[in-house]
Homo-oligomer: A and B are copies of this chain.
Amino acid sequence: MNITQASEEDHALPFNVFAKACPSRGTLEHITGRWGGLTLGALYEGSLRFNELRRRVDGVSEKMLSQTLHALERDGLVHREAQPTNPPRVDYELTPLGREVAERLLGLIHHLEGRMDDVLAARERYDEMRGGV
C-alpha cells in the first residue's frame, strides 16, 4: 500500500519526511517554507489579526500570507476565529499542535540568530576562497 493513501486504519504507519511520497514532507514544507515558519513564530506570542500578522512577518504579501494561513489551518496548526461583528473580525491563533511545532521551530530560530556571527564569518571565508560568488 502506498504511503500517500494513509487513512485512519493505518495510524501505525511510520511517517518519514525523507521519503518523497510521505505526506509529512508536505507538512514540513508548510512549517518551514519561506513564510510558514515566520507565521508560526509570530503567532506563538498570541493571537493576531490578519493585518497585525502581516506587519509582524515583514515582507510577506497579502496573497502569500493568506495562502500560508490556509495551509497551516488545513494541517491543524492554526485556528481561524471569525467574530460575528460588522465588519467581521478574524483572529488567528496556534492550536495546541501548532504550539508544539512553533516551540521547536523557535528553538531553531533563536539558536540560529545567536550564531549568525559565525555564519557571516564562514560566508566571508568562503567568498574569499572562491573569489566571490
Query: Are the C-beta atoms of B20 and A58 separated by less than 8 Å?
Result: yes
Q: What is the interface residue range for chain A against chain B?
A: 35 or more
* Residues of chain B with a CB closer than 8 A to A59's CB: 20
Q: Which residue of B lies closest to A122 (CB)?
A: B76
CA distance A79 to B116 in the complex (A): 17
* Cβ–Cβ contact A126 & B73, under 8 A: yes
Residue of A6, A16, A27, A33 with most partner-chain B CB within 10 A? A27
Residues 105-133 of chain A: 1 if any B CB is under 8 Å from the residue's CB, otherwise 0? Answer: 10111011111111111110111000001
Give chain A interface residues in 1-60, CB to chain B under 8 Å: 6-8, 11, 14-20, 23-24, 27-29, 31-34, 37-38, 41-42, 56-59
